[in-house]
Amino acid sequence: MLDYLVSIILTAGIYAIFALGLNLQWGYAGLLNFGHVAFMAIGAYVTVLLSMNGIPIFLAVLAGMILAGAAGASLGVATLRLREDYLAIVTIGFSEILRFVLLNWSSLTRGSFGLFGYPRPFQDLVGIRDYNLFLAGLVIAVLLMVYALLEALARSPWGRVLKSIRDDEAVAVSLGKNAFSYKVQAIALGSAIAALSGSLLAFYLQYINPNNFQPVETFYAWIMVILGGSGNNRGTILGALLLWGFFSTTRFMEGYLSFSPSASSAARMILIGLILIGLMMFRPQGLLGRKEELSIGR
């Protein structure tokens, strides 16, 4: 039972970090990133590949974050001068292209066989038996650090400029703010945070494969952000906990159904979908969102 609880904390925590990166982009800057999973994949693969080649593990994590941030910034520079929906198309395309490159660049990534047997932080010190418990602690610590960083930024004048761009970019520009630069910064930082979650995911899974990074992962992050209330960091974390809570508790339900395994896992997704629809009907602003913000017309 403890193992099970630890595994929920690990997945929910890792996905909360992942979704916090998206919340910075969507909730604060209003940027439509539909390829967020790509940056998680960059984090996981860069960390694993570098550490397998003898690079110290923390440097490898940092390298993944920097590379993901740079990739995000480049996509932003290329598309943000166009209409905002172009970013959505380009990012979802990027995430699929990246997945296929990872699948087919076998000499580097071993393709769909995936990578395993790579080092994990402090694995010799902690030992294999308690490793997940240790990693859960590490994930919670990283989550709290990311949360504190994002909250400090959200309350700073920098965050104020981001919110103004989300509400009406022309106003920000008319008051001397370089909106383009802020949007690129938000994409880069959000992508680096996604990469960090990717490194942690790799440590947890002990095995990574390009198909861990399907487009649906991006939309899990979207659900977490919207469920909790866009632009609310605590809401995003709560959204991650809830979504993973649903995934885990409905798993027990499968035992009581006399469906075939594939039908009962589909039934589970239907149930989760219904719960989400219900929640959005009763609290359209998200669990911790502010109702006033929805009722304000433009």
CB-wise, 131 or 182, nearer to other proteins?
A: 182
Give the shortest CB-151-to-other proteins separation in angstroms: 11
Give the shortest CB-172-to-other proteins separation in angstroms: 7
Q: How far apart are CA 165 and CA 172, in angstroms?
A: 6
Q: How far apart are CA 262 and CA 205, in angstroms?
A: 23
CB-wise, 240 or 288, nearer to other proteins?
A: 288
CB-wise, 189 or 202, nearer to other proteins?
A: 189
CB-wise, 97 or 152, nearer to other proteins?
A: 152
Closest CA to 35 of 71, 78, 83: 71
Give the shortest CB-180-to-other proteins separation in angstroms: 9
CB-wise, 109 or 233, nearer to other proteins?
A: 233
Give the shortest CB-189-to-other proteins separation in angstroms: 8
Give the shortest CB-192-to-other proteins separation in angstroms: 12
CB-wise, 83 or 298, nearer to other proteins?
A: 298
Dig out the tokens for 205 from the structure.
């899974």
Q: Are 219 and 267 in contact (CB under 8 A)?
A: no
Give the shortest CB-174-to-other proteins separation in angstroms: 6
Give the shortest CB-231-to-other proteins separation in angstroms: 8
Q: Are 98 and 43 in contact (CB under 8 A)?
A: no
CB-wise, 35 or 289, nearer to other proteins?
A: 289
CB-wise, 121 or 229, nearer to other proteins?
A: 229
Dig out the tokens for 104 from the structure.
């087919």
Give the shortest CB-76-to-other proteins separation in angstroms: 15
Residues that bind other proteins (CB under 8 A): 149, 152-153, 156-161, 163-164, 166-168, 170-179, 185, 189, 292-293, 296-298
Q: Are 180 and 81 in contact (CB under 8 A)?
A: yes
